[in-house]
Amino acid sequence: MAAKTSPRQQIAGRYPPYLLARQIAALKKVSDDTETPVQHLIRQAVDEYLERRKKTRRRRAAVAS
């Protein structure tokens, strides 16, 4: 029986296919400059985006009420 893997393990080490070559190159440069893995930079960017979105939605809800 094959061992189960979590969704995070399944995608670990791969770049999302929808990133453009120039975006991957820029991420690699930042990674080299900061000694931070590209995967961490991507996760960090997604977290920051989601946090900004959450704040925007809260503001809109407050204005609407």
Question: What pTM was computed for the model?
Answer: 0.64
Q: pLDDT tens-digit profile of 33-59?
A: 999 999 899 999 999 999 999 998 888
Q: pLDDT tens-digit profile of 3-38?
A: 555 555 555 556 566 888 899 999 999 999 999 999
**Residue 6: what pLDDT?**
54
Q: What is the residue extent of each domain of the chain?
A: 16-64
- In sequence order, which ranges of the chain are alpha helices (DSSP H)? 7-11, 21-34, 38-64
pLDDT beyond 70 at 1: no
